[in-house]
Amino acid sequence: MAELTATIFNIQRYSIDDGPGIRTVVFLKGCPLRCLWCCNPESQHGYPEVSHNSSLCVRCGRCAAACPAGAITMEDGPRVDRQLCTRCGICTEACIPKAMRMMGEEKTVSQVLSTVLKDIPYYEESGGGVTVSGGEPLAQVDFVCELFRRCKEKSINTAVETCGMVPREAMEKVYPLTDLFLYDIKQMNDEKHIAYTSAGNKQILANLEYLTKVGAKILIRLPLIPGHNDSDEDMIAVAREMNRLGLDQAELMPYHNYGMGKYRQLGLQYKLEALERQPQERLKQIHDIFESFGIDCKYIK
């Protein structure tokens, strides 16, 4: 039987922000949400995509000449017609300065594991391990489960960063193999959640409650998006839900627009360009709200 594969867009070694200790983070493509502030737009679709970095491009036209679908034009370009593009990757092979490249590639469990295993000494020394992220990694849950099974054979700690917008069956499959869930909460109000992420939050909250009932170790993660989910009312709603579920640890992630360049490379528009990070005084106020509910929280990048 053929080995399981997944579409991976990055494997980041030596991470210290995605679970305890030093970790290897495996980023899988595909996500059911379309958050306005998404900093990894290359993660949204579950298939490889062509990106174009204009700062590397010399406008030689080799990519356009090579494209068998005629999807690339040089008028004010190169410009990639995403409707015509078949994602064959021929343009990236023709591009000498590597301005054109594929975002994402199919990898087997063994290929991913071979990278993970390189850093076992760091995991052992720091209490680290492997984290799967995305996108939404549990959209490819069978791959994640097989990777985690093989990690467990090597006594490697496992963590999942999830938005929770997956079928309950996915949670049931991965829970026995997962040491820590990094669980994103973006907005407690369902209508606002739909407006900002294109989907409601009922499944997300139901899966979170399931994980608490089965005794999973959970760390809540909250992206703080100015004017979207960072009001006192928003923060209190999250803190109250955490109290109800018996969760007492959270990581707060202040807004940034570091991913804006990726949107341009994929021919996409970033809708929050004018948004600015909260001032330090406001971040302290948010921290104090969670602390007042007995929740231990810290800021991460």
pTM to 2 decimal places: 0.94
Summarize pLDDT for 274-301 with one digit per residue, the tens: 899 999 999 999 999 999 999 999 998 7
pLDDT given for residue 77 in this prediction: 81
Contact 273, 226 (CB under 8 A): no
The CATH number of domain 49-103, selected from 3.30.70.20, 3.40.630.10, 3.20.20.450, 3.30.230.10? 3.30.70.20
Q: Is 131 exposed, middle or buried (0-12, 13-18, 19+ CB in 10 A)?
A: buried
Residue 79 three-state SS? strand
Query: In the chain, how many H helices and how many E strands?
Result: 11, 13
Name the more confident of 127 and 259: 127
Rounded Cα distance, 44 and 34, in Å: 7
Locate the domains of the chain by residue range.
5-46+104-299, 49-103
**The tokens of 79 are what?**
């410009």
Mean pLDDT value across residues 74-97: 93
Domain 5-46+104-299 is in which class? alpha beta
pLDDT value at 1 more than 80? no
Rg (CA), the chain: 20
Sequence-distant (6+) residues with CB within 8 A of 125 are 22
For residue 242, the model assigns a pLDDT of: 98
DSSP character at residue 266: T
Q: Are 107 and 132 in contact (CB under 8 A)?
A: no
Phi, psi of 133 (to 5 degrees): -140, -165
The predicted structure's pLDDT at residue 211? 98
Place of tokens 């004018």: 274
